[in-house]
Structures are given as structure tokens and as C-alpha cells.
Amino acid sequence: MIELANVTVTVKPDDAVLLDNVSLTLDKPTTAIIGENGSGKSTLAKVLAGLLDYTGSAKIQGIEVATGRKALSGRVGMIIANAAAQVIMPSVAEDIELSLRHLPKDQRQATLEAVLAEHDLTELADRPALSLSSGQLQRLALATVLATRPDVLIADEPTTMLDARYAKLVADQLFAASDRQLVLITHDLELAARCDDILWVHDAQVAHRGPDSICKYREHIG
């Protein structure tokens, strides 16, 4: 469960408002956030991931994001829109291994192999991560985040770089776990339509919510 109360994000130097007094509760297993470029979707995702300062209250599973980052770190996973920035370790396998530190040492190798296979990354395991293509990087970012087994997954445009085959694989992986809450920011309206709840973000606020958000948004953009 995610609860926002009067969440506002402003940035210096001119106090531009990136998120304007947003209050909402996300309690469905999957929620899509759609909207125009620059409307505030990633800002909302970054608030939930603890990457941006805000005023008001943003709680995940009852824990305030701003003050509970440590408690939330193992529970909330985020795939950021720029997947390359998410890669930390030199090789693909090492990057995934970093996400498996919570496991006993004797389970890590078998789990690593399973994660590589699940994400079709086995052949790329020893490659320098930054030598990957954009789509491969995006799949690596998803693999590393899902390997931490988060209770809440915030995915910011996780399929933008993917060909049709991998877009389908990744979409299925995003929706696979029924016990994980998914918040999906996407311009892919077919993907958004698979979610239980849909929010249209416009001008730093939630303009509409519910299954007809896609229709309202389409009417707006013409």
C-alpha cells in the first residue's frame, strides 16, 4: 500500500513545482501512471523511491519514505528510465551478484545462473556491463532489481528500448508476481491497460484516475 498526502516537489533556484499537492492511495496490485512528457510521472516515481525531497507525506507499507529509507531499501525496487545509470559493477554477472547479497553464500551461484537464464542474459554474463546495447542494459537493470525480490516495484518506462520479443518477456516479468505491488510509468498504453488502476498525470497533478484514464488522456492529446 502506498499513501501520498499533499506531496509537493519544488526545485531551486526558482521553486518550480514538479509535483503539486498530490494526495492518493495506491492499493491495487498494479498501477499504471501515464501522461505527457514533462507532466511529473518520473518525479512521482522518484519520490516513492526516496530519490527526491518532498513536502507532505509519502508512505510505503506505513513507512515514511523520507525518514525510512533504510527500512524500505530491501522492500522497494526501482528501475529508472536511464538504465545505464543503474549499472554499478563492471560485468553483467557481478552487477546481478550485488543484488544477491541477502542470500546465503552457498545459494548465490545457482541463483545467479537462474536469474541470468530467466532474463536471457546468460551469454552476456561476462561482458562489461557498459558494452551492452540500450535494450540489453534495460533488461539487466530489471534483472538486478527483481533479484532483490522487492515487495514494491517502481518501473519507469522499463520497455522503451526493447524489441517486440523482449518487450513481451519484460511485460510478463513485471506482471508475474502476484505478491508484489507494481507502479508502472509508461507511454505504452496497451501495457498500461493491463494494470488494475490507471492514473493520468498532467501538469504536476493527477488529472484522472480509473480505467477510463487512457480514453481521457487520448482525447486530451488528440
Give the interface with ligand ATP as residue ranges (CB under 6 A): 11, 16, 18, 35, 37-43
* Residue 198: CB minimum distance to ligand ATP, A: 15
Query: What whole-number distance in Å separates Cα of residue 75 and Cα of residue 101?
Result: 14
Q: Which is nearer to ligand ATP, 16 or 85 (CB)?
A: 16
Shortest reach from residue 111's CB to ligand ATP, in Å: 33
Is 147 or 174 the residue whose CB approaches ligand ATP more closely? Answer: 174
Note whether 9 and 52 are within 8 A (CB).
yes
- Cα–Cα distance, 30 to 154 (Å, whole number): 10
Residue 197 CB, nearest approach to ligand ATP (Å) = 18
For ligand ATP, which is the closer residue by CB, 93 or 214?
Answer: 214
**Cβ atoms within 10 A of the Cβ of 136, count?**
21
In terms of CB distance, is 92 or 217 closer to ligand ATP?
A: 217
- Smaller CB distance to ligand ATP: residue 38 or 74? 38
Min CB(139)–ligand ATP separation in Å:
20
- Cβ burial of 179 (10 Å; 0-12, 13-18, 19+) is exposed
Rounded to 5°, the CA angle 168-173-174 comes to: 100
CA-to-CA distance for 51 and 71, rounded, in angstroms?
Answer: 15
From CA 156, how far away is CA 102, in angstroms rounded?
25
Closest distance to ligand ATP from the beta carbon of 19 (Å):
8
